[in-house]
Structure 1
Amino acid sequence: METRIAELRYKEVISVEDGTRYGYVGDMEVDLGSGQVRSLIVPGKRRFFGLLGREEDKIIPWTAVKRFGEDIILVEK
């Protein structure tokens, strides 16, 4: 299966273990030397309409990614 980085932004990241919904992919960390993806980054949720900042970003190691679906990415915690 092939996918583009732009398409990942529209996929929701969900835990296969307990169904926790982390949010949507906001960014990726890539090793420029090898070209391999190291992690997916899901932006932290806004606190009180963004006035109180936001939670920390959720960094998901590439090794935790288990499956890509049409509109979701299943990951282990």
Structure 2
Amino acid sequence: MRLSEIGDKEIVDLRNGSRHGQLWDAEMLFEKESGRIKSILVPNFQSKISFLSTHDYMQLPWNSIVKIGDDIIIFESQ
């Protein structure tokens, strides 16, 4: 699967139903040796954000993704 195929999908937490934007809004962290995706940083819209900071991010391990569907990416938070 290519990034261009999943970039528009909405990221949703299975535990509480919170939405974290689209994959385009996230940052990806890669393993240096293998080049595999280690985790993604998704916007955490549920946290309190001060007026000085523009974003608060939540690190989402790649293995916490439960399903990549037609319209959404479902993950289970810890």
Q: 1:32: Cα distance to partner?
A: 3.0
When the two structures are superposed, what TM-score results if normalisation uses the length of structure 1? 0.73
Which structure 1 residue ranges, 5 or more long, are not aligned? none
For the residues of structure 1 that align with 2:63 and 2:11, how far apart are their CA atoms?
Answer: 14
1:18-70, Cα deviation, whole Å (9 max, x unpaired): 2111111222111131122111222455x7xxx75423122211121111001
Over 2 Å off, 4+ runs = 6-9
When the two structures are superposed, what TM-score results if normalisation uses the length of structure 2? 0.72
Cross-structure match for 2:10: 12
Percentage of identical aligned residues: 30
Q: How large is the RMSD of aligned CA atoms in angstroms?
A: 2.2
Which structure 2 residue ranges, 5 or more long, are not aligned? none
